[in-house]
Structure 1
């Protein structure tokens, strides 16, 4: 019987029948291994499916062991998909074991995928193994075309983007949680971040993204979600600007740019922020004439002197300066525990609490933010979520008691109290602490990691 086989063009996992070796290839063989890719000329970063098929004509099954190639020049960490079916070719019935891998080329040019090897148990009791290898597979990787938009950072695939906030109406002592989701088909695990726009009127704390991936119909895709904590720096009507995302679509062979819509947020001035001099949003400038002549020139004193106690050495000055920051980050920790069911069905609030606190500490390291205020705020925000109740304003003994009730060891609870004492001393009297300033952020980060470990026990 002569069988003529025409190679299909569908991707792995499609309903079309897979190609089979010719009768001449299978003539006289009990088993045979074939390998192929669904696209021999992909673009850089475009996903392709590599499929290996073991044809076994024996009437009873024996063990098989698959050794995948090294896939040099390709990115591949997904689980291989495997399924079996039967086919008839060259006058014989074969059981086919098909194994598929999704690959993303990482270099341009001619690449060769080494042979795949199937080790098949042979002998009556299957005591020996016979390695069967496929032929190598050649792939020519094309570079991305010229004409990429300025915002392009390397994403290849097909994506959509969306943005949302947990609320559009807040007070000046509350944060807004912005969620940006990028979803579609492509290498979500290494997807570049969007180009974040300037955020006038907001202080921004970033967190590591959440990534959910899946494989359907032989294609790899999913969703990557970014959570950004936005703290208002002024009151009034504030805007969250458009976020753009540029990528190369290999199916359409062109660059595309997608974007979110701007989001308006109303920030009302609360009593606490007003007492601390929280600024209003810029209003229309009104110029009034207040005088028609030069003001009286005050006579110079007979002698000049420097104040014995500068303003910055007073505890009240630092307390007033730092209290808005501590209040805001503490509020953020309390509020996101009820809001952050965003982007997917379940969100690990414990991990988000830790990531938010560490992001606050990282921001303080890279800016002029007071280290003691940032450390206290990050620790309180973390404890607020982990203990499921507000901790700002509690005495240190009350915090220690809550920690021990939450299965935290007394020694670690005492370390938390000691750090809170240190941060308060630093906020109210920074001139006296000197060497403690540089290490307080690292100490807070270490303490949060130790707390996280004990909370999980």
Structure 2
């Protein structure tokens, strides 16, 4: 043990760094592409870990991953330590990753700097894909010329039976950081019964390898379709307006090296889709079949087995399963002639999931027996086509027998032999006497123009208008006082939101932390400037800050903070804890800097 300790101490004491080398592959790529950055320290003994300063123009997707190798050659040991980062380009331009440094025997040694050139999306620069563990799956896309941002429409299956469920999915593929998107046109689905299948909000993002290029993919819209016609049916394109972060602002300034981004727009559209819809087979088709497709079960129950005549009883028929729940027709219900049957009340409960619509449709019938005795309710039958088994299926269930006894609430004389009340006979008529003298008529005691109500009718509109003006003035005063109170309390509320964001950060709720931070900043500006949140877009924010003499540096800092918050929503690796913590600190510093200058502003 003593010998081993001496060897370890000796090895640590005699560690020597021979070289420090940094490299990137590739060094020319497009905005949004990822690349590998490595730092290798070579020497002898136990080598120190190099220090790296990754510029803000790059996002760390993974790393640093450390690898240590040692070799003994002719009794001498040589070793190397390699740190590997996977980075993504966030801005366009030429950037330099500073030289890494290590401390060797209290002396600092530096390696070489690495230059990386980032071009605009679609410029033709190629980037090598990330390691295999960064590529969840390989995806084939039919578009011949892939852009940096495009919208893909997919439907499964591509051929189906009439009323068979089909899933239509729209996936947004993007390489640059996307802030948000606006739907310009939804797809046309003529010939289909459509049900929306909600997607995650904000959309979940995964990485896909598309023809050798790495993309972020987010499912933004999804429908479950049930074809109502046979033959070839067309599904129209979906159109979006995508807001993404480009690499460089339009107006160059001193601060471009720090805040070097600009939000641009791109119109994208999916390709139309044609599907083939097959007719249901005629062979073995049940009588009375109503084009119901899916997998269903049937239940029918009476809420009472014994009733009296003229007493209502409820028959509940429940059809449950998977398929087009809303399309289910009411089953045929037959009752004996001595029972009155009323139209049903219908309720539908459905939920989309797993490529199907599952749920139930409930038909509630009211029955009233008119004669006593045993009343047998015939079975309820229901037929459907199962597309998975490709066969017709029929189900039948009997609600049961109803025992009807004579009603005890009627007098025997008023009831015929069947238990039904006898009709009421008219035994007399109401007599109306004729007046034999007219009532006396008196003249008006007071003329109309001498009555108070007459003059009050002229003065009333004047009082109403005056009261309206007074109420409006009072309302404006209250609104003014409310805006002042909101403006004064804005900073206190903002720091409360920052505290919530830090709590999310400590609980590793990174996505919630970014959402809380962004909404808190916007709410602070709305309260402080007395501008509604709905009107506080980027242009209005910048104009209000300029009117309050907020410097260009602070305005750019705000745009960068909000841009990073929005980017974290769409980037699968952008929501890291360290970045959130740093962004909260920057936001707190920004609010403290500008708060004294902000006043309610009219724009």
Alignment deviations for residues 88-136 of structure 1 (CA, whole Å, 9 cap, x no partner): 4124252423421111111111112122223201465876531211222
2:329 aligned to which of 186, 192, 199: 192
Distance 1:92 1:237, change over 3 A: same
Q: Does 1:277 align with 2:402?
A: no
Q: Does 1:70 align with 2:70?
A: no
Distance 1:210 1:23, change over 3 A: closer
Aligned residues: 273
Q: Kindly state the Cα deviation for residue 34 of structure 1 after the two structures are TM-superposed.
A: 1.3
TM-score after normalising by structure 2: 0.42
Q: State whether residues 196 and 222 of structure 2, in contact with CA within 8 Å, keep that contact through their aligned partners in structure 1.
A: no
Q: Which residue of structure 1 aligns with residue 204 of structure 2?
A: 84
Partner SS, residue 139 of structure 2: coil
Q: State whether residues 73 and 107 of structure 1, in contact with CA within 8 Å, keep that contact through their aligned partners in structure 2.
A: yes
Alignment of 1:365-384 (within 5 A): none
Which whole-Å CA distance do the structure 2 matches of 1:238 and 1:280 have between them?
Answer: 14
Which whole-Å CA distance do the structure 2 matches of 1:20 and 1:38 have between them?
Answer: 15
The structure with more radius of gyration: 2
Alignment of 1:230-309 (within 5 A): 230-273=367-410, 275=412, 276-277=414-415, 280=418
Which whole-Å CA distance do the structure 1 matches of 2:137 and 2:345 have between them?
Answer: 41
Distance 1:220 1:32, change over 3 A: same
The structure with the largest strand share of the pair is: 2
Q: Kindly state the Cα deviation for residue 38 of structure 1 after the two structures are TM-superposed.
A: 0.8
Q: Which one scores higher on RCO, CA 8 angstroms, separation ≥ 6?
A: 1
Partner SS, residue 225 of structure 2: strand
1:130 aligned to which of 266, 285, 289: 266
TM-score after normalising by structure 1: 0.54
Q: Which residue of structure 1 aligns with residue 172 of structure 2?
A: 54
Alignment of 1:307-346 (within 5 A): 314-315=425-426
Gaps spanning 5+ residues in structure 2: where? 1-127, 131-135, 247-260, 429-603
Q: Which residue of structure 2 aligns with residue 168 of structure 1?
A: 305
Q: Kindly state the Cα deviation for residue 178 of structure 1 after the two structures are TM-superposed.
A: 0.7
Distance 1:50 1:272, change over 3 A: same
Q: State whether residues 234 and 278 of structure 1, in contact with CA within 8 Å, keep that contact through their aligned partners in structure 2.
A: no
Which whole-Å CA distance do the structure 1 matches of 2:333 and 2:245 have between them?
Answer: 63
Q: Which residue of structure 2 aligns with residue 152 of structure 1?
A: 289
Alignment deviations for residues 370-407 of structure 1 (CA, whole Å, 9 cap, x no partner): xxxxxxxxxxxxxxxxxxxxxxxxxxxxxxxxxxxxxx
Q: Kindly state the Cα deviation for residue 81 of structure 1 after the two structures are TM-superposed.
A: 3.1
Q: State whether residues 64 and 120 of structure 1, in contact with CA within 8 Å, keep that contact through their aligned partners in structure 2.
A: yes
Alignment of 1:409-448 (within 5 A): none
Alignment of 1:328-407 (within 5 A): none
Distance 1:51 1:313, change over 3 A: closer
Which whole-Å CA distance do the structure 1 matches of 2:153 and 2:321 have between them?
Answer: 28
Which whole-Å CA distance do the structure 2 matches of 1:227 and 1:278 have between them?
Answer: 31
Q: State whether residues 308 and 405 of structure 2, in contact with CA within 8 Å, keep that contact through their aligned partners in structure 1.
A: yes
Distance 1:135 1:2, change over 3 A: farther
1:178 aligned to which of 296, 312, 315: 315
Which whole-Å CA distance do the structure 2 matches of 1:279 and 1:140 have between them?
Answer: 64
Which whole-Å CA distance do the structure 2 matches of 1:127 and 1:213 have between them?
Answer: 41
Partner SS, residue 222 of structure 1: strand
Gaps spanning 5+ residues in structure 1: where? 4-16, 282-310, 318-457
Q: State whether residues 2 and 23 of structure 1, in contact with CA within 8 Å, keep that contact through their aligned partners in structure 2.
A: no
Q: State whether residues 234 and 279 of structure 1, in contact with CA within 8 Å, keep that contact through their aligned partners in structure 2.
A: no
Distance 1:126 1:109, change over 3 A: farther
Q: State whether residues 301 and 399 of structure 2, in contact with CA within 8 Å, keep that contact through their aligned partners in structure 1.
A: no
